[in-house]
Amino acid sequence: MVRLKSTFTSIIAAVAILLIPAAVAKDQQMLALANASGCFICHKVAPDSKSDDLPLAPSYQEIALRYKDDSSAFTRLLDRVLHGTVYQDQAWGGEIGMRFMPPNVNISREDASALVHWILELEIDPVLAEKLILHDRMLALSTVSGCSICHRIDPVKESRVIPLAPSFREVAAHYKDRPESRERLLESILQGTQGNQKVWQNVNMQFMPPNVALKREDAVELVNWVMSLDTKGVPVRMDPPAGVRSSSK
Ligand code: HEC
Ligand code: HEC
């Protein structure tokens, strides 16, 4: 992985210019193995930007990108592929539709090991890589800034659950045709929403407290990121769920 890290950019460049025949043959072989092992029931090689739904599982390019600097990834991922992730931490929560990967019982350790090697060394489209790196960085920023205590990226699916705060995709969907609202969102985040007219009637909290420890430039980045989130198929429910009053007004 160290080698991969130091030559990461040059690998991308080299592969883009001349498609090395050996690499292509290896790809064909691994694609066939993954297919025969049922991996593609849930996974894709590259993320599918055309789909409306959250993917079932992370794409192999996203996995390669996430672990490219992580020298202990191979052993851990091999174990997760063989035994599944049911009783383990969720590595992709919020980004995919499934809670866990079931154990892959029909694959030999040797084949699984070849697949994990191949996945971790997949070359990644630089444009995609940049987008995914930004997304990961913003997820981390929203976690350290405490946003994820109240906000989720994706709307809750269960209609009886009232979330604490609107999910970021719902915020993006609600404001997407109003680019001028970025300034307002920025002020909401920095100063809180107490005293503003209540926008989100469908959430449990009355208002967002000011995020006092957040730097203005980080807040700007967070707003831009929230507004760039995919909103295809995201329902915007601003009203309280039937039979429930979320506000004490
Ligand atoms: C039934 C659906 C399903 C199948 C079949 C499946 N996976 Fe997964 N896989 C998932 C899900 C869901 C995750 C994300 C788990 C998480 O968030 O921790 C995942 C995660 C992974 C990861 C990353 C694990 C991590 O910790 O980040 C690898 C590598 C992987 N799968 C490889 C494979 C391979 C190879 C196969 C075929 C042998 C396969 N998967 C079959 C659903 C599946
Ligand atoms: C303590 C819980 C809490 C925390 C922490 C929190 N929020 Fe909020 N946020 C809310 C609630 C509740 C609302 C809905 C407010 C309303 O309807 O007045 C909201 C609304 C928003 C909105 C939409 C505002 C609008 O005017 O429609 C954005 C954007 C937002 N939050 C981003 C963030 C970001 C970024 C962070 C982290 C820096 C963060 N929030 C931290 C609870 C929280």
Per-residue confidence at 2, pLDDT binned at 50, 70, 90?
A: very low
pTM over 0.75, yes/no: no
- φ and ψ of 226, to 5 deg: -55, -45
> Where would I find the H helices in the chain?
2-6, 8-17, 21-36, 60-66, 73-83, 109-120, 126-144, 147-150, 168-175, 181-191, 216-228
C-alpha separations of 5 from 11, 83, 121, 177 in Å: 10, 28, 10, 40
pLDDT band at 154 (very low <50, low <70, confident <90, very high): confident
| Ligand 1 lined by 226 (C-beta under 6 Å) | no
CA 205 to CA 194: how far, in whole Å?
Answer: 11
- The reported pLDDT for the residue numbered 235 is 78
Buried b (16+ CB within 10 A) or exposed e, 210-225: ebeebeeebbebbbeb
Ligand nearest to the CA of 229: 2
> Using CA positions, which residue lies closest to atom 7 of ligand 2?
208
CB atoms within 10 A of CB 192: 15
Close Cβ partners of 131 (under 8 Å, ≥ 6 residues apart): none
The 8-class DSSP code of residue 169 comes to H
Please state the separation of Cα 128 from the chain's center in Å: 13
pLDDT, averaged across the chain: 85
Question: Hey, is 118 helix, strand or coil?
Answer: helix
Q: Which of 188, 199, 222, 239 to mutate to test the pocket of ligand 2 (most atoms within 8 A of CB)?
A: 188
Q: Note the pLDDT tens digit of each residue in 129-142.
A: 888 888 888 988 99
Distance, in Å, from the CA atom of 103 to the CA atom of 79, rounded to the nearest integer, reads 10
Q: Tell me how far apart the alpha carbons of residues 73 and 117 are, in angstroms, rounded to a whole number.
A: 10
Q: Please tell me the distance between residue 165's alpha carbon and the centre of ligand 2 in angstroms.
A: 6
The count of residues in the chain is: 249
Sorted by where each starts, the structural domains of the chain and their CATH numbers stand as 2-124 (1.10.760.10), 128-228 (1.10.760.10)
Rounded-to-integer distance, Cα 114 and Cα 82, Å = 12
Out of 38-42, 90-94, 129-133, 197-201, which region has the weakest mean confidence (pLDDT)?
129-133
Task: Answer whether 146 contacts ligand 1 (Cβ < 6 A).
Answer: no
Is the pLDDT confidence value at 244 over 70? no
Separation CA 67–CA 1 (nearest Å)? 9
Helix (H, G, I), strand (E, B), or coil: what is residue 132?
helix
- Give tens-digit pLDDT for 6-45: 445 554 544 444 555 676 788 899 999 999 999 999 999 9
Q: Quick one: which atom of ligand 2 is closest to the CA of 196?
A: 18
What pLDDT was estimated at residue 247? Answer: 43
Q: Which residues line ligand 2 (CB under 6 A)?
A: 142, 145-147, 149-151, 165-166, 171, 184-185, 188-189, 193, 196, 198-200, 203, 205, 207-209, 211, 214, 222, 226
